[in-house]
Amino acid sequence: MNKYLAVFKINWENALVYRLNFSLWRVRSVLQLLLVYFIWFSVFQSQQRIFGYDQSSILTYILIAALVRAIVLSSRVMDVANVINEGSVANFFLKPISFIGYYFIRDLSDKLLNISFVIFELALILFLLKPSILIQKNLSILALFLLAVFLGLFLFFIISFIVGLMSFWVENSWGLFFLMYIFLETFGGGIFPIDILPSPYSQIFLIAPFPYLLYFPAKIYLGTLAVPELVKGFFILSFWIIVLYFLMVKLYRAGIRQYSAVGH
């Protein structure tokens, strides 16, 4: 068995120890989804079309964004800040295993667990609420959707790892995480699609990395993006992944240097 496979396995075992904790976490995400769902549902009681969306496309957007959320977002990397602060990061400098690789695998492991639950939850919601949603049958659109989700997953890992690495310099990086989550919730597109904002704003936000975590993949699924928009989107997404990846590696090296000079 490979060492990273072993990390994957022990992470699952650990997550399943606390059944109550885990179930509550799932309940939380279902409630969050239902809240957003019903807000949009009631908005469409009086109108047929808002911001260029009809009821079925917005509800599809919300449900798909929830699925993407389970795959792209995760909270495991928040541990990085803790591990650095309390000094147990030393374990990674003593053993033949990569700190970044270790957390990436734990992240993937969490995601797989989350996905299996989210699919079940979404199926339950579809069965109970019977919303009219759009089933995307175009295979090339579905393929692009999966690609965007996959890239988004990398992007989120890199962003949150960078925030975690800040703990090498600031003693409490909780504020930074908080800030990141505000940006994420507002501009990520989990609550509303970014393009309902007036054009100059939505265009500016679309240059930032956050819309590519939830908004971009969900929007691809709806099938309303034209080819130039798709190209531009994938370009910006790849740009951020590459730039932030190098930033992460640089910060990581600098962090180790800082740690090795000062210790904890």
Partner 1 sequence: MVNQVIKVKNLRKYYKVHQKEPGLIGSIKSFFSRKYYDVKAVENVSFTIDEGELIGFIGPNGAGKTTTLKVLSGLLYPTSGDVSVLGYEPFKRQSEFQKQFSLVMGQKNQLWWDLPPWESFILNKEIYEIPEEQFKKTVEELSRMLEITDILKIQVRKLSLGQRMKAELVAALLHNPKVLFLDEPTIGLDVLAQKKMRDFIKEYNLKFNATIILTSHYMGDVRELCNRVIIIDKGQILYDGLLDDIVQKFAPYKVIKADLEKEVDEKKLSGVGEVKEYRDLQVIIHVPKDEASKKAAKLLGKFPVADLTIEDPPIEDIIRTVFSKGMDI
Nearer to partner 1, 95 or 232 (CB): 95
Nearest distance from residue 177's CB to partner 1, in Å? 22
Instruction: List residues bridging with 50 in a β-sheet.
Output: 53
Residue at 2: amino acid letter: N
Residues 6+ apart with CB under 8 A from 188: 210, 211, 213, 214, 215
Nearer to partner 1, 34 or 90 (CB): 90
For 14, the enclosing helix (H) or strand (E) is helix 3-17
Nearest distance from residue 3's CB to partner 1, in Å? 4
Nearer to partner 1, 92 or 205 (CB): 92
Nearest distance from residue 117's CB to partner 1, in Å? 19
Cβ–Cβ under 8 Å, residues 244 and 155: yes
Nearest distance from residue 263's CB to partner 1, in Å? 5
Instruction: Write out the two tokens for 74.
Output: 């995760």
Nearer to partner 1, 18 or 38 (CB): 18
Nearest distance from residue 179's CB to partner 1, in Å? 20
Nearest distance from residue 27's CB to partner 1, in Å? 21
Cβ–Cβ under 8 Å, residues 218 and 65: yes
Nearer to partner 1, 104 or 187 (CB): 104
Nearer to partner 1, 6 or 39 (CB): 6
DSSP string, 78-111: HHHHHHHHHSTTHHHHHTTS-HHHHHHHHHHHHH
Q: Where would I find the H helices in 44-173?
A: 55-72, 78-86, 90-94, 99-129, 139-165
CA-nearest of 128, 129, 115, 111 to 41 is 129
Binding site for partner 1 (CB under 8 A): 1-3, 5-7, 10, 13-14, 17-18, 87-88, 90-91, 93-97, 257, 259-263
